[in-house]
A and B are shown apart, each in its own frame.
Chain A
Amino acid sequence: MLFQSTQILLFIAFCFVNTSANAVETIEENIDTDTLFSMSLGDLLNVDISLDSTFDIFDSLLNAKTVSVASGKSQEIARAPAVTSIITAQDIEAMGATTLNEALESVPGLHVAKNVKYQPVYVLRGIYNADNAETLVLINGEPFKNLQNANRGAAWRDMPVQNIARVEVIRGPGSALHGADAFAGTINIITKTAKDIAGTEVGARLGSFDTYEAWLLHGGRYQDFNIATSLIYKTTQGSDPFVAEDAQSLLDVGWGGNSSLAPGSGYLQENSINASLDVGYKNWHVRTGILHQDDVGNGLGVSSALDNWGKAERNRFNLDLSYHNPIFTPDWDVSTQINYVYDQTAARSMALPPGVATPVRAYPKGMRTELDSVEEHLHLGMSGFYVGFKQHVLHLGTGYRYQDLRHLEYRTNRSIFINGSFPSATGPLTNISDTIYSIYPEALRKNWYVFLEDTWHFSSNWDLSLGVRHDDYSDFGATTNPRASLVWQIQPALTAKLLYGTAFRAPSYTDLYLQNNGLLKGNIDLSPEQLSNWELAFDWRISKKLHANLNLFSYHIKDKLLPVSKLSSGRPLQIMENAGYQDGSGVEFELRWKLNQRASLLFNYAYVNTEVNHSDPGYYSKHQLYVRHDWLLTPGWYLDNRISWRSRQDYEGSYVGSSPSTSPQTQWDMTLRYKKHQQPWNISIGIRNLLNKDNMEPGRATLISEYPQAERNAFIEFRYFFE
């Protein structure tokens, strides 16, 4: 082992004692608040501001922050009718987070697990599903998800952070405002506008795993137009997750043979381009974005068998046009919007490697499938706040969503018996689109919704909010989701909230229509999965430098969408059903502490206990701990340390090879940044998984029981900013 943790710590402590002495000497101004207030205005305008004001993460950690994801209107976190967390662009820069997933780990109780393709599973409160349909991701308030799996697309693993202004997270249900899938939580990513960029930034990052990134951001005001644009390019080979055995290793034993590609490494390579244009003109706002991905590897393989042939390509285009007039009339603040998404994916996968001979037939070139799809989504929405009734704020809105899986092409060499024969195992793949043999049909989903919420400020210290949203879906019916919140400002520094809310997860097309899969079958009679949640939350500004919040939650999920083993035409098959329930409860605690003018500490801890149909689902962490320490070493030099620690428990199932480890997972990440006021350069170096821990994410118990995560890796980043 190259480093030992103790040595690293001693080294840091040593550097720290030395550099901090220098730092104190370098501070030229030493003015206290009383002195400032005794100065004349003329003198004040001559005071030099320096040091941490260039990068004031220490104060900003404690500043009262506002969220809009909780109620649709910007309001202070403490009084918002939900439990929320905010990650600002400043936090992202301080952490040196290079991707969205990395930044999200700082949210209390949120862990970014990975599925077999290494796509993120945003696990909140023990609610886990490999497609992660239970956590809703929004970009600027619009859902970023597809119809087929209710996830973020077959090729999506992460998002660059350069163009993110802030991320707002609701922990707990949000369907009363956001509709389907705002279930375990909602993550709203707000991109930068002209004022967030205010100039031009170019940057480049080089990192381990042959990772190269380059970007350009520009924002400015041109007459009455606020224009922001971004272009981000990334290419990576990804970490090489090594597995000793995969699903094919198990089949090789049963069928005889030696065709598994394991022991071997998974495929996490990817190229991507993210481009955006954001134009604001008076009350109008147009946002458009292009996401292109290609050569995206299949991780450990869609069927948990290593796949050196599979890859995906995606092109997504979105256009959002919105109008917001805060004083449409003196009592009305209105918004209206049109959103359009075109999302095209071409994914190919090899479920079984070359040379496999199943009991039915041999696959000299492997069992291969190509799936091309195009989805189009259109959303029309309007909403408003009405303040004409004294002490009341009414929020009401309605909208219509038209979602169309309008093209699906399915080509395969699988042993599907078509007109008395199988598709060729070695020739070109057989196109069976638009036939009863396809994986699912092209289909359409239409959704009307209406919502109403009243917030009653019945005294200066109390708010009562009651809201309800009704959704009507063309394919699986209607659902109504209420929420209620009572917020009590006990003292100016202490707020308590009692929250109740329900949420639903809409069945995806896979849940409803999947067919001819051989292992799993959809069910068109499914109802949405339903969650109800109680929550008690406290927000306490203990002192000017210390801020704590605590929340206790308890939820019940019914009609859980689960595969159930049944016999179909005499063969065992898993069929999706509303077959279960889940109960969970826990606590989340966060402390933000400004240690002094040059350092701050963020600490959070989450505990959850949950059961699915009377048994522990295992895939989550009961205990989760996170510490982030930001420190201005000397003027211009910033050091951020983050440590996350998670417990793991055993989960039921029989394993391939050894059973998964139950030892806790630890990750230590460190970023050192050089940034000085009025200097255009901003340079950082980061080390991830400093202790080189063999961290694992839970896999599929019966196939690959755990998915290895990246070993120690590093990057160096350069940014140049000019006005």
Chain B
Amino acid sequence: MKFNLKNYILYVLLFLVVNQNAYAVSEQQVKVAVLYNLLRMVEWPDETIQQKDQPFTLCFMGEEPFGDALHVIQKKRIQQRNFHFLKNIALGQIENCKVLFIANSEEQRLESIMTELQKYPILTVADTQGFAQRGVMINLIREKTKVVLELNEKSTLAVGLSLNPVLLRLVRVIDTNE
């Protein structure tokens, strides 16, 4: 019996034709849309005029989970500013971040990261179960088929970030582990 590569190609092509219209909304797409929406409800303390001219820097520490879904907000603006992404940054590079997404891969060193972050008015975001309890301000987690927003209010207040009351009504407030 001879393997026929043509048949396999045919099968792949056939499938392409049939499947082009299929569409579904993914967890990552929803999380990115939620993230974009909530950034509009956060105020950062004492921004200088000069800072307001600079792009809005969204930093990622560890393995960024959003992939394609993130490209969408690259084209959008926030507070009349363009987005600027800094991926895979080290602890020493966080100064210019407005938002720091801490990936699941940083789980082992989360405490060290949080200690260093206390000096900066940076909104910390994650998508890992238990991270809000450990000091991350906003945690986007999935429960069943919905995205849930957890907020560690103590952490946001500590660095002087203020949140829109609408946001406060939609989040689940979490206490820090002692």
Chain A residue numbers with a CB within 8 Å of B72 are: 33, 37
Cβ-defined partner of A17 (8 Å) among B14, B24, B104: B14
Contact at B34–A50, with CB atoms within 8 Å? no
Please, what's the 1-or-0 string for A591-613, where 1 marks a CB less than 8 Å from any CB in chain B? Answer: 00011111101000000000000
Please give the distance in Å from B105's CB to the nearest CB on chain A.
7
Please give the distance in Å from A689's CB to the nearest CB on chain B.
11
Please give the distance in Å from A211's CB to the nearest CB on chain B.
26
Contact at B23–A30, with CB atoms within 8 Å? yes
Q: Which interface class (under 10, 10 to 19, 20 to 34, 35 or more) fits B?
A: 35 or more
Q: How far is the CA of A45 from the CA of B108 in the complex (A)?
A: 29
- B43 interface residue, CB < 8 Å from A? no
- A40 interface residue, CB < 8 Å from B? yes
Cβ-defined partner of B7 (8 Å) among A9, A63, A331, A597: A9
Decide yes or no: A12 and B20 within 8 Å by CB, A66-B88, A195-B107, A544-B71 being known contacts: no
Contact at A330–B92, with CB atoms within 8 Å? yes
Please give the distance in Å from B65's CB to the nearest CB on chain A.
7
Which of A51-59, A431-439, A514-522 makes up part of the contact surface? A51-59
Q: Which residue of chain B lies nearest to A198 when distances are taken between CB atoms in the complex?
A: B129
Decide yes or no: A56 and B26 within 8 Å by CB, A16-B15, A42-B170, A65-B63 being known contacts: yes
Chain A residue numbers with a CB within 8 Å of B67 are: 59-60, 62-64
Q: Which residue of chain A lies nearest to B28 when distances are taken between CB atoms in the complex?
A: A59
Q: Is the interface of A mostly helix, strand, loop or mixed?
A: mixed
Decide yes or no: A41 and B170 within 8 Å by CB, A53-B28, A596-B20, A597-B24 being known contacts: yes
Q: How far is the CA of A6 from the CA of B76 in the complex (A)?
A: 49
Q: How far is the CA of A599 from the CA of B69 in the complex (A)?
A: 16
- B19 interface residue, CB < 8 Å from A? yes
- A571 interface residue, CB < 8 Å from B? no
- B175 interface residue, CB < 8 Å from A? no
- A158 interface residue, CB < 8 Å from B? no
Q: How far is the CA of A598 from the CA of B129 in the complex (A)?
A: 27
Query: 13 more A-B contacts (CB under 8 A) besides A283-B108, A545-B68?
Result: A9-B8, A9-B11, A17-B14, A23-B22, A39-B33, A49-B25, A64-B87, A66-B105, A76-B88, A326-B91, A331-B92, A598-B22, A666-B3
Please give the distance in Å from B108's CB to the nearest CB on chain A.
6
- A691 interface residue, CB < 8 Å from B? yes
Interface residues of A (CB under 8 A from B): 1, 4-6, 9, 12-13, 16-17, 20-21, 23-24, 27, 29-33, 36-37, 39-42, 44-53, 56, 59-60, 62-66, 74-76, 193, 195, 198, 221, 226, 280, 282-283, 285, 324-327, 330-331, 333, 387, 393, 544-545, 594-599, 601, 627, 629, 631, 643, 666, 668, 677-678, 691, 693
Q: How far is the CA of A6 from the CA of B112 in the complex (A)?
A: 59
- B49 interface residue, CB < 8 Å from A? no
Please give the distance in Å from B35's CB to the nearest CB on chain A.
10
Contact at A20–B11, with CB atoms within 8 Å? no
| Closest 9 pairs (CB-CB, A-B) | A53-B27, A63-B67, A51-B24, A9-B7, A36-B33, A41-B37, A48-B145, A49-B27, A53-B26
Q: How far is the CA of A627 from the CA of B11 in the complex (A)?
A: 13
Please give the distance in Å from B21's CB to the nearest CB on chain A.
7
